[in-house]
Amino acid sequence: MFNDIGPLELVTLIILAVLVFGPDKLPKVIQDVTRTIRKIRDFSESAKQDIRQELGPEFKDFEFEDLNPKTFIRKQMDNDDLGLKEIRNGFDLKKEMAEVTDAVHGRDTDSSSSPSPSSGSSGGRVDMIKKPESPAADTRPPFDADAT
């Protein structure tokens, strides 16, 4: 519960508690606080048990920690019922990005390792803007009746 409180902070809290409540009332305050925390824990555990009973036997393995989205996703990624590991391992982002870049520049994916002079490079420089080729005068673009 107090995993992130360091020793200096703990000493500061103790000194502050002694100054605020005084050495006479401090043991009573600590008992009241611990009793309250215990009651809150008991109440939350009984509420969890009531919810599990109401959900029925098919949810007997239900854990409330699974409602946290990070925990749920982590648990589903470990479970390989959907074949997600195969998809994740079969997807190479660098290769996909190289293919998209080659397609944008109009190069074949096989010739991407050795740039050809006709691919728009001159003197080691690559033109990022490809000039459109002029269409033939007698060729019309296809007409799409649904687009209008």
Residue with tokens 């687009």: 147
Mean predicted confidence (pLDDT) in 123-138: 57
Domain positions in the chain are: 1-56, 63-108
Mean predicted confidence (pLDDT) in 111-117: 47
Q: Which range scores top for mean pLDDT: 26-40, 64-78, 134-148?
A: 26-40
Task: Please say whether the beta carbons of 32 and 17 come within 8 A.
Answer: no
Rounded to the nearest integer, the mean pLDDT of the chain is: 76
Q: Which range scores top for mean pLDDT: 16-30, 63-77, 86-100?
A: 16-30
Given pLDDT bands bounded at 50, 70 and 90, which one contains residue 43?
very high
Task: Give helix then strand counts, H and E, for the chain.
Answer: 4, 2
Our CA angle for 42, 44, 48, nearest 5°, is 115
pTM for the model stands at 0.41
User: Among residues 65, 92, 89, which one has the least CA distance to residue 77?
Assistant: 89
